Amino acid sequence: MSMSLICENLYQFTTYVPPMDFTLHQYLLAAEPAVLFAAGTVPQARAALPQMREVLNGRPLKYVFVSHMESDESGGLPVLLEAWPELTVLCSALGARELPGWGYEGQVRVSGPDAPLQDGALSLRFFDYPSEVHLQDGLVCLEGRSGIFYSADLMLRFGNAGGKVIEGSWQDEVAGISPERVPNEARRQKLQEALLSASPKLIAPGHGFCVRLHGA
């Protein structure tokens, strides 16, 4: 597990899986209040915890955004809840119903396109994401002040990408959302339209290279 500073206040925690040439990332946005994008797997959450505490310097982690229920996105929740009992999970309504199965019994705020979150320096906007694997209602998330878009399994890339940022365009990245990721064509188009109504500055993916966006 390694930690990299991607841009101001954005810390990336990465596990690299050599046989797959694939990275798993979590991101801590150390704003006031602080939010973590993806809980990570249990081993990753355990490994990242001491560094997260160091970055937060005594402040609590207030939110964890969980895109969908899968080991890399939600597995580490019990580890995080033990460290920060006041933690609130931000997830979809379906995700909230699944949380007890992941051993999480802390606070939950059901989030979605109609339920953005303003809290201190955070301005979170959510997009419906019919996530691959389950093909049901997950979410992806944009933090509007920093322009950071956490894409979960969208816009992912292979490669040893820890700490690395490439250049790209938002239009191309949105157009590149393939049927393998979101097979339902109507829902894929709806997601693409919703995403194009936003203009992030940086894509922080769950896997692969971060993308700094042109013109942002």
Residues facing residue 145 across a β-bridge: none
Shortest distance in whole angstroms from residue 121 CB to Fe ion: 27
Choices 12-20, 87-95, 117-125, 148-156 (CB under 5 A): range interacting with Fe ion: 148-156
Shortest distance in whole angstroms from residue 156 CB to Fe ion: 7
Cβ-contact 112, 124 below 8 angstroms:
no
Joined together, the tokens standing for residue 28 give 């801590």
Choices 10-18, 83-91, 122-130, 201-209 (CB under 5 A): range interacting with Fe ion: 201-209
Q: For residue 121, report the phi and psi dihedrals to the nearest 5 degrees.
A: -85, 5
Q: Which residues contact 158 (CB under 8 A, 6 or more apart)?
A: 20, 21, 22, 207, 208
Choices 58-66, 82-90, 152-160, 187-195 (CB under 5 A): range interacting with Fe ion: 152-160
The answer to whether 206 contacts Fe ion (rule: CB under 5 A) is: yes
In angstroms, how far is the first alpha carbon of the chain from the final one? Answer: 30
Query: Binding Fe ion by CB under 5 A: which of 28, 87, 153, 210?
Result: 153
Shortest distance in whole angstroms from residue 133 CB to Fe ion: 6
Residue 103 CB: number of other CB atoms within 10 A?
A: 13
The answer to whether 75 contacts Fe ion (rule: CB under 5 A) is: no
Which among 172, 171, 173 is positioned nearest to 205, based on CA atoms?
Answer: 173
The answer to whether 72 contacts Fe ion (rule: CB under 5 A) is: yes
Residue number with CB closer to Fe ion (18 or 58): 18
Choices 29-37, 58-66, 191-199, 202-210 (CB under 5 A): range interacting with Fe ion: 202-210
By CB under 5 A, the count of residues binding Fe ion is 4
Shortest distance in whole angstroms from residue 96 CB to Fe ion: 17
The answer to whether 143 contacts Fe ion (rule: CB under 5 A) is: no
Which among 24, 97, 34 is positioned nearest to 64, based on CA atoms?
Answer: 34
Cβ-contact 133, 70 below 8 angstroms:
yes
Residue number with CB closer to Fe ion (26 or 88): 26
Which among 199, 153, 197 is positioned nearest to 176, based on CA atoms?
Answer: 153
Interface residues with Fe ion (CB under 5 A) are 70, 72, 153, 206
